[in-house]
Amino acid sequence: MTMLKAQYEQRGRVPQDVIHAVEFSEPELKPGQALIEVLAAPINPSDILTLTGEYGMLPPLPAVGGGEGVGRIAALGPETKGPAIGQTVLLPVGCGTWATHVVANAAHLMPLPNEADPKQLSMISVNPPTAALLLSDFATLQAGDWVIQNTANSGVGGYLVQLAKLKGIRTVNVVRRESAVAGVLAQGGDVVLVDGDDLAARVKEATSGAAIRLAVDAVGGMGTERVASCLSEGGAVVNYGAMSGEPCAVSPRNLIFRDVSLKGFWLARWFRVAPKAAQMALYGELAQHITSGKLNAPIHATYPVSRIKEAVIAAHTGGRDGKVLVAPDS
């Protein structure tokens, strides 16, 4: 059996130039370890930024790419207790998931429903909990309330739309191109608008002047100011990304005279401070939604580990309407 991993020994501005597929031998398992056959692993923006050296947390080199995914238990080390052979499990975050197989501590593995689509499950670690926590932890929202977000056609954006719909929360969704509107509407977005300087006026018209107390921002720069201007007095902007490459901009008018607040969110920090029971409960709820088909994300393409350079190029190219996955059955 040929085992492959997508490894990089350096970081560079062109992410596909630093990553390559490397063969490795089947590891000898120690007590407590599990060998996991990887079923699917997505390529997230944070993975690309890790390859270029621009992410906020970088692993030591050499490293294997991939921060999340799911797999199936293929073998257990001697005297090892944990999920049974054949069980679908969540791969440990940051373990280097762009590989055909990974080794992990069996006791720390979280079982997932075997009947669920592994490609959809593979995206559960990062974007769905980010969307869920952005909705729940920064404003008390009830059914019928409104939330506004930019980059609504992103992975987090799509999950936020669906999770809001399940709670009866209505969404104003801001995108950067007209061609992205239909996809967000198809996922359940209530209002979808192309970003622009007159965004606040168009949002007010589309929502009949409804109060909006939460804005979710992944653009930064003046994108932050535009969604902040759509909020009612005392509203909160939560930033979790900077796709513009610019610092968040919020005017004195919004910060001082309208009491709009700006906060940041990083899922890795939440993992460090949240109780294990809270993490398990959140993932359990998300897994149920994915298994039932209530929560899903479009998939642009899948590539085997042997074609990792092509996969990274596809993931790094703009204009996609779906996630790029590394999966063995491509």
- What are φ and ψ of residue 197, in 5° steps? -60, -25
- Pairing state of beta strands 101-105 and 146-149? unpaired
Q: Which residues pair with 205 in a beta bridge?
A: none
Give the three-state DSSP class for 323.
strand
Q: What is the signed CA dihedral for 274, 124, 164, 261, rounded to 10 degrees? A: 50
Q: How far apart are CA 134 and CA 147, in angstroms?
A: 10
Residues in Cβ contact with 210 at an 8 Å cutoff, skipping those fewer than 6 apart? 146
In single-letter form, the type of residue at position 8 comes to Y
Domains identified in the chain and CATH numbers: 3-123+297-326 (3.90.180.10), 127-268 (3.40.50.720)
Burial degree of 263 (CB within 10 A; 0-12, 13-18, 19+): exposed
Q: How far apart are CA 135 and CA 79, in angstroms?
A: 43
User: Could you list the pLDDT tens digit for every one of the 330 residues in the chain?
Assistant: 789 999 999 999 999 999 999 999 999 999 999 999 999 999 998 899 999 998 888 999 999 999 999 999 999 999 999 899 999 999 998 899 999 999 999 998 999 999 999 999 999 998 999 999 999 999 999 999 999 999 999 889 999 999 999 999 999 999 999 999 999 999 999 999 999 999 999 999 999 999 999 999 999 999 999 999 999 999 999 999 988 989 999 999 999 999 999 999 999 899 999 998 999 899 999 999 999 999 999 899 999 999 999 999 999 987 677 899 999 864
Return the active site residues: 55
Q: How far apart are CA 145 and CA 236, in angstroms?
A: 14
